Chain A
């Protein structure tokens, strides 16, 4: 039996699964990108192009209004320059609890860029206060910060410096009592940074997932997004390996 699928229906049981390896999921009438888990994401770049994007057959310059779809690791990725904004279209709607996640991307120079450049964030439009969780760079290595609105904790990778073009996989976990960030470069062994966390907040509030920045405009970083998975609970690597 061969059946076509409703490509916009949720195909993941994760809290969030943003993954374009099977092709772009989009809402034709709005142009919003649709996660496998059903959430929609808005994208914009303002009045600027993005050059040297790789595709089968050559590179191209993406026009202002077009997401820069890129051939990355033999799959479809979304190239994000520092002017690109990709954020969830509505506030997160899952209950507060320990969360784990996997974030796969192609390094495009963010690590060695300006300290604070943010790969991934769960934050409000104004990210300078309140609850937030984000992976940013110290200027030399990546680090994970959790802030419950009152106090914060940060764990920093002691080693591991992906070069531009490397395929990087981050796994993160915030349980309340502990905070963990793992990094694998080009399929290598994970390097782990772990430390005491801060208590989970009573509510997430008006937070949204964002790729390549924190808040509306703050702390931009360039990368090629391959995959973001967020799951409930503190999960082992083997379970995350099976998540989709």
Chain B
């Protein structure tokens, strides 16, 4: 599966069959072209695309397109306009790559068996990978958390931030639920809080502090996996979510920049 701007390609009638090129690397790592392991490879590659290009081959669904004209119009409407788009594949859900549609789509009519009249098309799309610029996680303000799953705000990059919680019964179990089929993770904080107190967790380091009226102390009984807050764990328009075992919480996403 392949998403562009968080929308499945199949939703506009294209069934991607191959992709070549390199996606951006996951957040907080440097990318150097051509060095094995530093750029995220993609599945189905048919050989290296020209530098900076990502080439996608896709079948146009015959139920959606019977002519070239509407096919071109659909592609231009969905991916053109000179706008930077966000590309993501299911095999590297944590990687979002900013791209620009580069040049016209190459459309090939697939030869049909004698007697079939419905034309079928294969589309080759070239995207230019965009480096530089600024793609930021929108720090969308505080998100209220509770014992029901709360979807965390959309963005373009994995995030960190603070997670505050109060009024819970120890241990507090924070469940992070990716939406793309990956397994949920849990983070357990064993620390009682009295009325008026709260805990503050640094999601970048995993450090957790208890704030009482008179003191601030580090909580040592912390186990499991801290929430990833990775929008690559979204599926279409469904975002990953957080659930508390009890009490109330507040997620404060931290904006990070792509430079």
Q: Could you tell me which A residues sit within 8 Å of B by CB distance?
A: 1-5, 7, 21-24, 26, 28-31, 47, 49, 55-60, 63-66, 69-72, 74-77
Interface residue ranges of B235-259 to A (CB < 8 Å): 248, 250, 252-259
A29 and B30 within 8 A (CB): no
**Contact pattern, B 137-151, Cβ under 8 Å of A = 1, otherwise 0:** 001111111000010
Nearest chain B residue, comparing its CB with the CB of A23: B254
Asked whether A60 and B161 contact (CB < 8 A) given A55-B141, A76-B142, the answer is: no
Nearest chain A residue, comparing its CB with the CB of B137: A23
CB distance from A18 to the nearest CB of B (A): 15
* A residues near B252, Cβ cutoff 8 Å: 23-24, 69, 76
* B residues near A26, Cβ cutoff 8 Å: 162, 200
Q: Add 9 more A-B contacts to A23-B253, A76-B141 (CB < 8 A).
A: A4-B27, A23-B254, A24-B161, A26-B162, A28-B207, A28-B209, A55-B142, A60-B144, A60-B250
CB distance from B139 to the nearest CB of A (A): 4
Nearest chain A residue, comparing its CB with the CB of B26: A2
* A residues near B145, Cβ cutoff 8 Å: 57
Nearest chain A residue, comparing its CB with the CB of B198: A66
Q: Which of B48-56, B67-75, B210-218 contacts its partner?
A: B210-218
Assess whether B76 is interfacial by the CB under 8 Å rule: no
B209 and A29 within 8 A (CB): yes
CB distance from A49 to the nearest CB of B (A): 8
**Contact of B141 (CB < 8 Å), options: A1, A3, A5, A56:** A56
* B residues near A2, Cβ cutoff 8 Å: 24-25, 27-31, 157, 258-259
Asked whether A31 and B200 contact (CB < 8 A) given A23-B255, A75-B141, the answer is: yes
A69 and B216 within 8 A (CB): no
**Contact of B197 (CB < 8 Å), options: A22, A65, A74:** A65
Nearest chain B residue, comparing its CB with the CB of A7: B254
Asked whether A66 and B209 contact (CB < 8 A) given A4-B27, A4-B256, A47-B196, the answer is: no
Nearest chain B residue, comparing its CB with the CB of A79: B142
**Contact pattern, B 168-211, Cβ under 8 Å of A = 1, otherwise 0:** 00000000000000000000000000011110101011010101
* A residues near B196, Cβ cutoff 8 Å: 47, 49, 63-65
* B residues near A22, Cβ cutoff 8 Å: 139, 254-255
CB distance from B144 to the nearest CB of A (A): 4
* A residues near B253, Cβ cutoff 8 Å: 23
Q: Is the interface of B mostly helix, strand, loop or mixed?
A: loop
Give Cα distance in the complex from A76 to B162, angstroms: 12
Give Cα distance in the complex from A60 to B251, angstroms: 13
Assess whether B166 is interfacial by the CB under 8 Å rule: yes
Q: Could you tell me which B residues sit within 8 Å of A by CB distance?
A: 24-25, 27-31, 131, 139-145, 150, 153, 157, 161-162, 164, 166-167, 195-198, 200, 202, 204-205, 207, 209, 211-213, 216, 218, 248, 250, 252-259
Nearest chain B residue, comparing its CB with the CB of A67: B164
* B residues near A66, Cβ cutoff 8 Å: 164, 166, 198, 200, 211, 250
* B residues near A63, Cβ cutoff 8 Å: 166-167, 195-198
* B residues near A1, Cβ cutoff 8 Å: 30-31, 131, 259
* A residues near B164, Cβ cutoff 8 Å: 66, 69
**Contact of A56 (CB < 8 Å), options: B27, B144, B257, B259:** B144
A4 and B28 within 8 A (CB): yes
* B residues near A24, Cβ cutoff 8 Å: 161-162, 252, 254
* A residues near B143, Cβ cutoff 8 Å: 55-57
Nearest chain B residue, comparing its CB with the CB of A61: B248
* B residues near A76, Cβ cutoff 8 Å: 139, 141-142, 252
CB distance from B214 to the nearest CB of A (A): 9
CB distance from B246 to the nearest CB of A (A): 15
CB distance from A166 to the nearest CB of B (A): 18
Give Cα distance in the complex from A7 to B258, angstroms: 14
CB distance from B92 to the nearest CB of A (A): 14
* A residues near B254, Cβ cutoff 8 Å: 7, 22-24
* B residues near A23, Cβ cutoff 8 Å: 139, 161-162, 252-255
* A residues near B212, Cβ cutoff 8 Å: 65
CB distance from B213 to the nearest CB of A (A): 6
* A residues near B162, Cβ cutoff 8 Å: 23-24, 26
Give Cα distance in the complex from A64 to B141, angstroms: 20
Nearest chain A residue, comparing its CB with the CB of B202: A28
A3 and B30 within 8 A (CB): yes
Asked whether A31 and B141 contact (CB < 8 A) given A24-B162, A24-B252, the answer is: no
Asked whether A65 and B198 contact (CB < 8 A) given A23-B253, A31-B216, A57-B150, the answer is: yes
- Leading 9 A-B pairs by shortest Cβ distance: A71-B141, A23-B254, A64-B196, A57-B144, A22-B255, A55-B142, A55-B144, A23-B139, A4-B28
